[in-house]
Amino acid sequence: ALWKESLFGAPSIDLSARQSVIENRNTKPLLNMPRSRRSREVALTQTDKRSTRDHKSKYIEEVRDAVDKHESIYLFRYENMRSSKFKNVRLFFRDDGSRIFLGKNKLLQIALGRSAEEEYSENLQHVAKRITGGSVGLLFTSRNVKEVEDYLLSLQEPDYARAGSVAEREVNVGNDDLARFPVSMMEQFRKSGMPVEIKTGKVVLRDGRSLYQICKQEEILSAEKCKLLVHFGSKQSTFKVELVCRWSGGEFDEYQP
């Protein structure tokens, strides 16, 4: 009890009992409440280094295994590549077991060897030294040289530009171009910065304009302008492949741009 009789008959607080209650309250176990995911701590330093190292070693072995199994290696650069475009390239070379490696440039360099002492096979160091930049890949194949060169160099396909791309040409649209769109598109056009309104049940340019310029030639395209170019069917980029060099049986050849 926290209360006891004082000398004058009035109740007073028993401080020792109150202290005991506080101590018991502090040592009382908490209820098992579900923890919030937001408050969960993730230690970024506690990654499995062995797993990462094993993965890198496996990748290097796969590259070297491809060197042993195929007669030639082609280093190529690509522009405006999307997975849907490059899927056809992989399908073209899949039948005979050819391999294509994209990305992980440093591991590709290590696998081939960056010096005469490190190179996995003679003159592979010259290929490794040219694996620079983010848009390169290696093709390992035993196909005829002319067949490979003709196919890769013919890969030029127009595509819609992505944000950050440079416009290949100027694009202007007018009310005639807008006439084929339903009125429900007005808000999408406005969000992309296009001044439009609805008149007589049609989407038209606002303020009496007859033309609206989406982009200028060599302008760096924003995400909004890229969306407008898609709506109006203007493809401002080209997917293409450029051969850099070829290695075959220890012989190294560099392609001229």
Residue-wise pLDDT for 135-157, tens only, equals: 899 999 999 999 999 999 898 88
In Å, what is the CA distance from 152 to each residue of 39, 98, 145?
51, 14, 11
Name the pLDDT band for 187 (thresholds 50, 70, 90): very high
Q: Is the pLDDT of residue 170 over 50?
A: yes
pLDDT tens digit string along 35-88? Answer: 444 444 434 444 456 668 888 999 999 999 999 999 999 999 988 877 677 888
Q: How many CB atoms lie within 10 A of CB 158?
A: 13
Q: What is the pTM of this model?
A: 0.69
User: Is the distance from CB of 209 to CB of 48 less than 8 angstroms?
Assistant: no
pLDDT of residue 14: 55
35 φ, ψ to 5°?
Answer: -80, 140
Instruction: Give per-residue burial for 76-114: e unless 16+ CB within 10 Å, then b.
Output: bbbebbeeebbeebeeebeeeebbbbbeebebbbbbbbe
- Name every residue whose Cβ is closer than 8 Å to that of residue 73 and which is 6 or more positions away in sequence: 67, 124, 127, 138, 139, 140, 246, 247, 248
In Å, what is the CA distance from 161 to each residue of 114, 222, 234?
35, 10, 9
Q: Percent of the chain having pLDDT more than 90?
A: 61
